Amino acid sequence: MSLRLIATTVALIGASFTAQASECEVSIDASDQMKFSTDTLSVPASCKEVTLTLNHTGSMPAQSMGHNVVITDTASVQAVGIDGMSAGLDNNYVKPGDDRVYAFTRIIGGGESASVTFSTEKMQAGGDYSFICSFPGHWAIMKGKFEFK
C-alpha cells in the first residue's frame, strides 16, 4: 500500500465524520495512461459550493501528459474541447471566459494535485453535465458524467 493510498484512506475515514461539507468535495485521479480513475463524479444538488481535486498519479510532465478537469454541459463537451485546444497550455486548454464552463482545474503533470472550489449557482439539479480533461486529444477519452442531483 503506497503512502498516498494510506493518506487518502485516512482522509476518507476522517471525512465520514464531518457530514455535510464533505459531500460537496469530490476527487479524481488521472494517470500516464490517459485515464481518469472514475467515469462519474457526484455531488448533491444541495451543495452551493463544490470542491474538486485532481491528483495526477503518473510521472510524465504537463507538456506531454498534462491533465485537468473541466466541468461543462454534456452537449458542449466537443466544442469546449476543441476551443480549449486553441487556448493553449498557458490558459490550461480552456478558452478564457468560456461561459459553457462551470469550473476547471489547472493543467498538472505527474505527481501534482490541483483543486478548485466553485459555485453551483448556474447549475440545475438533475442537469446533464460532464467532466473532461481538455488537454489536446484527451477529451474524447478522458470524460465522464458530473452528477448534480
Q: Which residue ranges make up the site for Cu ion (CB under 5 A)?
A: 67, 133, 135, 138, 142
The nearer residue to Cu ion, 120 or 134, going by C-beta atoms, is: 134
Contact 76/100 with Cβ under 8 angstroms?
yes
Cα separation, 137 vs 95, in Å, equals: 16
Q: How far is the CB of 68 from Cu ion (least distance, A)?
A: 7
Q: How far is the CB of 103 from Cu ion (least distance, A)?
A: 16
Q: How far is the CB of 24 from Cu ion (least distance, A)?
A: 24
Q: How far is the CB of 49 from Cu ion (least distance, A)?
A: 25
Give the number of other Cβ atoms within 10 Å of residue 44's Cβ.
14
The nearer residue to Cu ion, 47 or 84, going by C-beta atoms, is: 84
The nearer residue to Cu ion, 47 or 142, going by C-beta atoms, is: 142
- 146: Cβ contacts below 8 Å, ≥ 6 apart: 41, 42, 71, 129, 130, 131
The nearer residue to Cu ion, 80 or 133, going by C-beta atoms, is: 133
Cα separation, 41 vs 99, in Å, equals: 21
Q: How far is the CB of 138 from Cu ion (least distance, A)?
A: 4
- 88: Cβ contacts below 8 Å, ≥ 6 apart: none
The nearer residue to Cu ion, 108 or 123, going by C-beta atoms, is: 108
For 9, the enclosing helix (H) or strand (E) is helix 3-15
